[in-house]
Homo-oligomer: A and B are copies of this chain.
């Protein structure tokens, strides 16, 4: 059972089982309305109507709109583990695929809403934070492998470095909302690996 899903598969109980059909219809309606209306304009009433479901059926499964949106969010794809043998290759492949996800799913629209809510909602924070940690693991693993290979200095802070790598992407998702141009990934990876200072070998002489 996932962190965010409710215990629908727990101890077989008497009575009518919950409708899996309704469950998915609700999540689908949620994602659809998130795309068209955004998080704060999303109403549980609207989700219920679109899903052809009673409000109680939603509240029976999720304690609040935030939790509902969070489960919808958790269904969206994330980073995939990639091992090409080099950090440049790993990061390039992972980030390119991630940008593709950001550009083709509601993920980019939902992420800032949840982060914005997280700050004032400890309950959400409790669910959201581990999820976020989990979702960046592929990059952490790639960094660990790179350190083992000697490609990267061994004294780096993994979390901080992951922040450095995700930073430019997240900055754009949060502050511009526009499509992420995959062309920025090359320069970003290059800067992270080798810095922005001039390189001796690039200089004549």
Contacts and interface: CB of A to CB of B under 8 A. Distances in A.
A171 B175 contact: no
Q: Could you tell me the dominant secondary structure of chain A's interface residues? A: helix
Given A115-B115, A116-B39, A129 B175 contact: yes
Interface stretch (A19-27, A92-100, A148-156): A148-156
A164 B164 contact: yes
Contacts of A199: 153
A184 interface: yes
Interface residues of A, number: 54
A182 to B, nearest CB: 13
Contact of A174 (B37, B174, B191): B174
A36 interface: yes
Given A151-B198, A170-B170, 5 more contacts: A36-B120, A118-B177, A153-B199, A163-B167, A170-B171
Interface of A: 36-41, 108-109, 112-121, 125, 129, 132, 150-153, 156-157, 160-161, 163-164, 166-168, 170-172, 174-177, 184, 187-188, 191-199, 202
